């Protein structure tokens, strides 16, 4: 039997879908069991409690996101190249996982201490290299002076917010789903241009 067909894995897949779309409070154990096509008791057999199943899902989902962040932080290309690649890659990734950003952000707001458990995990994104790199490029006159933390948050904000705020932005800009998808697609390059215009000397 393949690993993907194991009951434990079926449960995790079903739980990922339900928890991501409805959140911890909105999710129902019975609904997860139904989606997995198994008896509700199996959820507790493999994961003990709703809380532990949720944490397994959260860590799994976060481990999808972390590499996306690390990609911009830990390679040796210039800041300009990183911004360009990150914007394109991150947007493409999020178009495949539309519930992911809101899930992460919302659950971290619901329980601020939960991030502590993630920080201990290997692969938790580290900004040190990025900070040094930005400082170096500012010194060498390639970039205008800017606090690396501020720049990093700006990059995240411009890339993530369109997924978090989709319903609001759709209404404000009067777009339907198709034109919103086109809007997001064009951001793959627009956002990088916007950032680079701002910081390039």
Residues near 67 by beta carbon (within 8 Å), at least 6 away in sequence: 123
Which tokens belong to 85?
């690649």
51 counts as binding its own copies under rule CB under 8 A: no
Q: How many residues does the chain have?
A: 201
Shortest separation between residue 81's beta carbon and DNA, angstroms: 46
Classify residue 74 by burial, with Cβ atoms within 10 Å: 0-12, 13-18, 19+: middle
Q: Which is nearer to its own copies, 10 or 191 (CB)?
A: 191
How far apart (Å, rounded) are the C-alpha atoms in residues 23 and 110? 10
Binding segment toward its own copies, per CB under 8 A, in 11-19, 36-44, 76-84, 150-158:
150-158
Q: Which is nearer to its own copies, 45 or 59 (CB)?
A: 59
DSSP H stretches of helix in 74-165? 79-96, 100-110, 114-120, 128-139, 148-164
9 counts as binding DNA under rule CB under 7 A: no
Place of tokens 């777009």: 175
Shortest separation between residue 80's beta carbon and DNA, angstroms: 48
Binding string, residues 73-92; x marks residues near its own copies by CB under 8 A: --------------------
164 counts as binding DNA under rule CB under 7 A: no
Q: Which is nearer to its own copies, 42 or 183 (CB)?
A: 183
Under 8 Å between Cβ of 72 and 130 = yes
7 counts as binding DNA under rule CB under 7 A: yes
Shortest separation between residue 6's beta carbon and its own copies, angstroms: 30
Whole-angstrom CA distances from 193 to 85, 90, 137 are 12, 15, 18
Which tokens belong to 174?
């009067």
42 counts as binding DNA under rule CB under 7 A: yes
Residues that bind its own copies (CB under 8 A): 22-23, 25-26, 69, 102, 104-106, 108-110, 112, 115-116, 118-119, 124-125, 127, 144, 146-147, 149-150, 152-154, 156-158, 160-162, 164-175, 183, 186-187, 190-191, 194-195, 197-199
């Amino acid at each position: 039997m393949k690993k993907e067909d194991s009951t434990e894995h079926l449960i995790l897949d079903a739980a990922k879908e339900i928890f991501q779309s409805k959140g911890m409070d909105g999710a129902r154990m019975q609904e997860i069991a139904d989606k997995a096509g198994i008896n509700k008791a199996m959820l507790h057999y493999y994961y003990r409690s709703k809380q532990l199943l949720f944490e397994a899902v959260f860590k799994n989902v976060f481990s999808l996101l972390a590499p996306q962040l690390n990609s911009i932080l830990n390679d040796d290309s210039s800041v300009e190249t990183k911004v360009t690649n990150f914007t394109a890659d991150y947007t493409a990734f999020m178009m495949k996982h539309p519930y992911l950003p809101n899930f992460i952000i919302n659950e971290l707001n619901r329980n601020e201490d939960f991030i502590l458990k993630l920080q201990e995990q290997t692969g938790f994104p580290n900004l040190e290299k990025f900070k040094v790199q930005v400082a170096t490029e500012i010194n060498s006159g390639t970039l205008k002076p800017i606090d690396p933390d501020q720049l990093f948050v700006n990059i995240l904000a411009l890339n993530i917010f369109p997924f978090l705020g989709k319903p609001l932005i759709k209404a404000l800009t009067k777009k339907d789903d198709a034109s919103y998808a086109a809007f997001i697609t064009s951001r793959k390059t627009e956002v990088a241009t916007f950032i680079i215009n701002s910081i390039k000397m």
